[in-house]
Every structure is written in C-alpha cells, then in structure tokens.
Amino acid sequence: MDMPTEMQHQAMGYDRTATMFSPEGHLLQVEYAEKTVKLGSNSVGLVCKDGVLFVADKRIRDNLIAPESAVKVFEVDEHVMATAAGIASDARVLIDKARLISQQHRVSYSSPIDPVSVIQMIADTKQAYTQYGGSRPFGVAIMIAGVSKNRPHLYTSDITGNFFAYRANCIGESDERIKEELRRGFKDDMTMDDALKLVMKIFKEILDKNFEISRFDVGMISLKDAKLVRLRGEELKKYVK
C-alpha cells in the first residue's frame, strides 16, 4: 500500500526546514504557516471614496483580559495603520520594524512615508525568512492601509512575502466567506461610514449569537486630515442595525 503524500513528506524530512523544497515544489513550512493565518481572527480593509478603513475582530475569549489591551489596529505613522491575522507576536515584530522605518523616513526626508514602502519592507522581511535556514517563516498575514498624495491605499502581504494592492480584502479564519460578501456588497463610491455599516452587517451574519460590539477594533484614515481615528465599543452602535 502506497504511503500518503503528507506522510512521505514527514518521513523524508521535507517539512523540517523552511528552505527545503518537496518533490512537488512546495515549501511545507511556509504552507503550514499559511494554515496558522487561517486560525487567526478576521480583519477587513476597505478603500473608500473619502479614506481607508479597517475593521478587526479582537476575539477576546477571556473576560479577565482588559479589553483596551487587546489591540488589532496598530498605528504605524499618523497616516498609516496596520492589522494582522495569525501569530500576534510575529505581527508585533514586523509592525515595530514598520514604525521604525516610517520615523527614519520622516527624519531623513522631512516627509511622511508612502504606504507601499512600508508593505514592501514587511514583504521583503517575510520573504527572507522563507529563504535562509535557522529560523521559521512569520506566521502572520499583514494589511497596511494609509493615505498618500490625497489617495487611499490598501495592501496585503502573505506568508511568502508577496504583496498586492486591494480595493477591499479580508484576512483570517472566515476570509473567503467575508470576501464573497464584499464582492457582492462593496462599491467604490462608498463612504467609510457606509463601508463600516456593510462590514458590521457581514460580521453580524457570520458571528450570529457571538456578535458583540466590544470585540471590534476600528481604524479610519480620511483623505481630509490623513490621521488615524479609532472607534470602539459604544461608538460603533450607530453602525449596527
């Protein structure tokens, strides 16, 4: 009886290092890391006509945790924000690097960094950890959003170090289901308020009885002032029907 492919990989050691290709051309540690992202709580990003928006599910399971300490939308610079799905500590390391290069850019050039430069640095770092031995891949997908030259931007970087620009996107456990809803309901001419109502409606349908306002972290950057504004708790009630 033939041994299943996955057992063959384990027997031959193809999944023991991030730098060893399997006979089928796969980096198995990278694929395992992609599964980790699917276990993470959802984050949704949308580019709207008046700015860019993040809606992140904090998914706090322990009521002993102080809710304000569970942050899912991170400020990179006043005009750039980030969110993630996967291993939160991996995300923290990458976002701290993003904050550092953003401040270095301000000091060196006396101007704010472009969001694409931030996501490119993150993607380059992730790619390096799939190519060199002695370390594992970052187990996190990261979305970067911001405003540059009076235009909103949204980017997503996956485990492999690829990144793409999006009109709207979702990362985390229910990403495909949420993206299907976004394809049906999202419009390019939506305002951030309209987009937030749409996303809260989607989450309400998906989470059903587990839906609670307190589990969401929302970040908005408008074209008007290009600064991150956060919404939490009671501030979100008017967006839920």
Residue 166: CB atoms within 10 A of its CB come to 18
Contact yes or no for 48/192 (Cβ under 8 A)? yes
Spatial separation of the C-alpha atoms in residues 93 and 95, rounded to whole Å: 6
Look at residue 6 in the predicted model and tell me its pLDDT.
Answer: 60
Look at residue 24 in the predicted model and tell me its pLDDT.
Answer: 82
Look at residue 233 in the predicted model and tell me its pLDDT.
Answer: 82
Q: Identify the band that residue 134 occupies on the pLDDT scale cut at 50, 70 and 90.
A: confident
Q: Give 161's Cβ-side CA count (13 Å radius).
A: 11
Q: Who's near 189: CB < 8 A, 6+ residues apart? A: 49
Q: Is 110 left (phi over 0), alpha (psi -120 to 50) or beta?
A: left
End-to-end CA distance of the chain: 57
**214: which DSSP letter?**
G
Which of 3-7, 88-92, 198-202 is predicted least confidently?
3-7
Contact yes or no for 160/126 (Cβ under 8 A)? yes
Domain contains 210: yes
Tokens 């890391």 -> residue: 33
11-69 tens-digit pLDDT? 456 677 767 777 787 778 888 889 999 999 999 999 999 999 999 999 877 778 887 78
Residue 1 has pLDDT above 70, yes or no: no
Q: Strand 163-165 to strand 228-232: parallel, antiparallel, or no bridges (unpaired)?
A: unpaired
Q: Who's near 190: CB < 8 A, 6+ residues apart? A: 46, 48, 49, 198
Please state the rounded mean pLDDT for residues 99-112.
96
167-224 tens-digit pLDDT? 999 999 989 999 999 999 999 999 999 999 999 999 999 999 999 998 999 999 999 9
Q: What CATH number corresponds to the domain at position 97?
A: 3.60.20.10
User: Which value, in Å, is the radius of gyration of the alpha carbons in the chain?
Assistant: 19
Look at residue 224 in the predicted model and tell me its pLDDT.
Answer: 94
Domain contains 241: no
Domain contains 137: yes
Residues of the domain holding 66:
33-235
Domain contains 4: no
Domain contains 169: yes
Helix (H) or strand (E) holding 99: helix 88-109
Look at residue 167 in the predicted model and tell me its pLDDT.
Answer: 97
Spatial separation of the C-alpha atoms in residues 146 and 105, rounded to whole Å: 15
Look at residue 157 in the predicted model and tell me its pLDDT.
Answer: 97
Whole-number average pLDDT of the chain = 90
Please state the rounded mean pLDDT for residues 137-160.
96
Domain contains 15: no
Look at residue 14 in the predicted model and tell me its pLDDT.
Answer: 67
Domain contains 156: yes
Q: Whole-model pTM?
A: 0.90
Number of domains in the chain: 1
Domain contains 20: no
